[in-house]
Amino acid sequence: MRRRSVLAAATLALSGGVGGCLAGPKTGGSETSDPDTTDPETGTPTASGTATASGTPDGQPAPDTYDRCPRLVIGVEELPEPARREVETALAEGAYETDGELSLPHVLDPEASYLEPGGENGDRYYRATIDDRNSTTRLTLTEATPSMGSHPLSVESRFDESVSVDVQVTYRPTDEVVLKASQSVDPDEQPTLGEFDRRLGEYRATVEAGSVSGPITWREAEHRDPLATVVVGPEGVRPEPRAVAELVSCTDFWEQ
């Protein structure tokens, strides 16, 4: 009986000792925290640690400190650095997005001005489109031809008698006929033949008036007034001289 009691006690003691070793001491475990998802430069929280364009970086002027330049065509290289970066990104990647405020609409009117990249894209122009979606502002650029709007074209006769005048105007970049008109014109009369959208670029007009005819060519450009009058007479056909417009400097609107 004693032997069995001793064996039983030894077995219990061994089981308790082994059990204690397997369980080990109780600990509080180790606490973990989410990885730092804060932008180290701006202090702005980011999703899954991904940086997003947000706020105004140190040393960069706030967007509303600029004034809008009223020019029709503005070179991308002329833009202040924050706006230029937005445009160059949109050109390269198809769009620029930010959860902050865009600088571009503060330096120009997106509905009135066109952007000219220059360089290899010197003959291309773009219009900016800005969309606000939830908390994200998106800038995209669409290729477009700058326009000075619709303006009339008239004919002035220097003949001593009435003549029939036929005019056809073609926009050379696309060979599109933008105006076609026929009209009887009395001496010293200056009737309007019609009006058309004055896109920048070269135009060609074929004119027939009485015994004279001939083509005339001209360019519509931001620094000149639109062609308003074609003069016909015994000496032939010619465009009326146009005034040269003095363009403002955009830097005057953007200087800080």
List the domain boundaries for the chain. Answer: 51-143, 147-239
The DSSP element (H or E) to which 73 belongs, if any, is: strand 73-75
Distance, CA of 71 to CA of 203 (rounded, Å)? 22
Can you give the pTM of this predicted structure? 0.70
From residue 223, give the alpha-carbon distance in Å to each of 119, 154, 178, 247.
21, 21, 22, 6
Question: 147-239 sits in which CATH class?
Answer: mainly beta
The DSSP element (H or E) to which 169 belongs, if any, is: strand 163-171
From residue 235, give the alpha-carbon distance in Å to each of 205, 231, 244.
17, 10, 25
For residues 125 and 145, the answer to whether their CB atoms sit within 8 Å is yes
Q: Work out whether the CA dihedral 66, 71, 75, 78 comes out positive or negative.
A: negative
| Per-residue model confidence as pLDDT tens for the chain (256 residues) | 333 333 333 333 333 443 333 333 333 333 333 444 344 443 433 333 322 355 555 456 677 788 999 999 999 999 999 999 999 999 999 999 999 999 999 999 999 999 999 877 667 999 999 999 888 999 999 999 999 999 999 999 999 999 999 999 999 999 999 999 999 999 988 999 999 999 999 999 999 999 999 999 999 999 999 999 999 999 999 999 999 988 999 999 998 6
Residue type, 105: P
From residue 216, give the alpha-carbon distance in Å to each of 23, 60, 92, 233.
101, 50, 40, 14
